[in-house]
Amino acid sequence: MGGYCPTLIQEVNKLMSEQPDTNPQFPAPVETSQPEFLPLAPTPTPAAPMLTRPVTRIKPDRLGMFLGVFRWVFFLLMAFIAGIFFTIFMQTRTLEGTPLEIVQKPILDWSGIPADAHKQWLALQQAFTLVDQNFYEQDKISHKDMIYAAAEAAVASLGDRFTAFNRPQVAQANDDHITGKFVGLGVTPEIKEGKYVVKRVIPNSPIEKAGIKEGDVLVAINGTRLPTPITDPVAVSTQLRGEVNTKVKVTFARPSDNNKETEYELTRQELIAPSVDTQMLDNNIGYIDMRQVFGSNTMNEFDQKVGALVKNNNPAGFILDLRGNGGGLTDTARQLLGRFLDGGVAYYDDIPTQNVHMRPEDVLTNPDLKIYDKPLVVLTDGGTASASEITVGALHDRKRATIIGEKTYGKGVAQYVIDLLDKSALRVTFESWYTPNKTNMTESKGITPDIVVTPTDQQKQLGQDPQLDRAIQYLTTNS
């Protein structure tokens, strides 16, 4: 087992050489110079021929694939349709006290239907349907007006006089009031004793060019007398507005001239109501008129006009007139305060839905315009409200200004204005606000001036302004 036997190898080679060469694949042994005791190399085995099978191409079953996809699509479509009918069933049936009530509630919530008043919701729809079926004057049915009236009544039921649903016409008028841009005649009205009275005249407007003055009373439009008292001032203002270059006839009465009536034919034009006017008064007093609401462009106007007044005249003191200013943007109030106060709290706010309680809102300063050290008087009246009261409250509580005039309106809440799908809008009260001394305007019913001055009817008719006169006197004499 330890090696190969040479004799055995020789015998094997001899036998192989004696066999006939019948297969050329097996040649005779070749003599080599290698030692005889080396092992024989293995003999290669011929490769067996490969057996091949014919290839058959399998065509895809296109019809089967189509039917499979169709079945899935059909199944999904049927499930979708079934879901629609199931949702409609859940929305239009009262299922209180049944096992399906658990399933119904999230469907109603997702659909925007109040689950806690589902029956009443269905009753409202039922009322609309019954009106359509039974009301005897079918041509008077307006589903749009019915829905608007329902929305107005629903919001009014909250009992908050500042939360309201505004139809598109009213919503647009409110937007114009904030931006200051509109097409009309140029009158800012107020309702006094049920009458539509000119409160302000916009400079360079058709109203001013016609000679109509503050205190004049609008009594007719295009020959139609206005009702007395005025119950819908927005509707009246809407008649005065319209397309550019269209004409309208208006009749005004002048109380200072025995209510003499005069008719004017005016052409509507595009106007921008200025929210800031300035002028220099006697004794080097700067007068800042901000009797328009705080809008998106108010502070640009303020910085431009008041900045020029300060640069060119260096007034010894200022009168800030906020009479009739119904509010506007609260951020504008914070910016306005930042021109007179070097930082600090503007007001505190309470927002229950955001878990905000007495959060301080600071003034927003402007490094380019600082009026921190000049005497300041603020004029107010019953029309000074909301954001303008924020201004008055901060200047009063922080001892920065003397307040002269009449008690302010008393609106210590703010509203979100949310545009809806058809350009109507929802004004919803979301916060209460407090002065730096933590006084709420609604609860206190307004800010009482440091010096109360109430104009008489005779003074108004004569165009006198005792409140402004008293402010000038105070800045001049400091008393």
Distances (CA, A) of 99 to 7, 90, 95, 102, 117: 104, 12, 8, 6, 19
Residue-level pLDDT at 303:
95
* DSSP classification of residue 47: P
> What is the structure's pLDDT at 25?
45
The per-residue b/e assignment along 321-346, b for 16 or more CB within 10 angstroms, e otherwise, is bbbbbbbbbbebbbbbbbbbbeeebb
Is omega for the bond preceding 367 within 30 degrees of 0, making it cis?
A: no
> Is 0.85 surpassed by the pTM of this model?
no
CA–centroid distance for 414 within its chain: 14
How far, in whole angstroms, is CA 100 from its chain's centroid?
A: 38
Instruction: Report d(CA 228, CA 307) in Å as an integer.
Output: 45
pLDDT, tens digit, for every residue of 251-281? 999 998 899 999 999 999 998 888 899 999 9
* CB-count burial class (<10 Å; 0-12, 13-18, 19+) for 174: middle
On whether the CB atoms of residues 245 and 159 are closer than 8 A, the answer is no
Contact indicator for 272, 204 with CB cutoff of 8 Å: no
According to the model, what pLDDT value does residue 42 have? Answer: 55
Q: Spell out the alpha helix ranges (H) of 92-181.
A: 101-111, 118-134, 143-156, 168-179
Tell me the per-residue pLDDT of 156-209, one tens digit each, with 9 for 90 and over.
Answer: 999 998 999 999 988 988 888 787 778 899 988 888 888 999 988 888 899 999
Low-confidence ranges of the chain (pLDDT < 70): 1-60
Distance between CA atoms of 454 and 404, rounded to whole angstroms? 10
Distance CA 56, CA 113 (A): 64
DSSP code of residue 353: G
Q: What is the average pLDDT score of the chain?
A: 85
Beta strands 195-201 and 402-405, pairing class:
unpaired
**Cα–Cα distance between 328 and 291 in angstroms, integer?**
11
Query: Rounded to whole angstroms, how far apart are CA atoms 371 and 306?
Result: 10
Give the list of residues 6+ apart from residue 72 with CB closer than 8 angstroms, or none.
Answer: none
Residues 6+ apart with CB under 8 A from 164: 152, 155, 156, 426, 427
- Within 8 A by CB and 6+ apart from 459, the residues are 465, 466
* pLDDT value at residue 14: 55
User: Torsions phi, psi of 294, nearest 5?
Assistant: -75, 110
